[in-house]
Chains A and B, each alone.
Chain A
């Protein structure tokens, strides 16, 4: 069964450093998403991406965040200058259609900012 692959599974970084979280969506999917879950809290929407541009973003997705599809397969989330409160599990997801019901999530990257 096709999978969404995220790397790394766990990343530890120092406060103020830049991190890039990587995702390989399912190859024929057109819509890509990042969500995050701070420990013990809800899974929260960050951003959606379609046709090489952001289609929607939440209030969480401020100027320190950016997304990119640098080639035909990867979808990355960059956090420019990490803060302690960025520590969370970050999930990538992709779907074939925006209004389709078929979201496929990756297994997540646990980011720990120290």
Chain B
């Protein structure tokens, strides 16, 4: 079945460092891909999305490109801030069967130090 694998955390970076959180997926067809973020004490918030190959999702300085050839959707940010400290979840939604349901990775905790 469909699945998402993302890099294990925690990831600790200094402010202004470059961030990459790897995400790869297994799915039949062409899923939609998402990154969600969970700040401490809050719910899951949609950070960015991409619905087809080569699409780039971007928001708040974060970017991720839908790479069909490598089945990846890596999250990047050029210069992280302390306020980016959160847990980041990669997710997909398939186009067959369970079309409304999200399949998540385990989440990667990011801590940014001043």
Contact = CB atoms under 8 A, between A and B. Distances in A.
A93 B106 CA distance: 18
Given A101-B51, A103-B46, A105-B43, A55 B100 contact: yes
Nearest to B106: A42
A52 interface: no
Interface string A63-81: 0000000000000000000
Nearest to B36: A105
Interface in A40-69: 40-45, 48, 55-56, 58
Interface residues of A, number: 28
Given A43-B89, A101-B49, A101-B51, A107 B43 contact: yes
If over half of A's interface residues share one DSSP class (helix, strand or loop), that class is named, otherwise mixed; here it is strand
B12 interface: no
A44 B104 contact: yes
Interface in A7-44: 31, 33, 35, 37, 40-44
Interface string B77-114: 00000000000010100000011111111110000000
Contact of A91 (B43, B101, B103, B105): B43
B105 A105 contact: no
A40 B106 CA distance: 7
Interface string B15-52: 00000000000000000101010000111111001010
B91 to A, nearest CB: 8
B56 to A, nearest CB: 15
A57 to B, nearest CB: 10
Interface of A: 4, 6, 31, 33, 35, 37, 40-45, 48, 55-56, 58, 91, 93, 95, 98-99, 101-103, 105-108
22 contacts: A33-B101, A35-B104, A37-B107, A40-B106, A42-B4, A42-B105, A42-B107, A43-B44, A44-B104, A45-B102, A45-B103, A56-B101, A91-B44, A93-B44, A99-B99, A101-B46, A102-B46, A103-B46, A103-B102, A105-B36, A105-B44, A106-B43
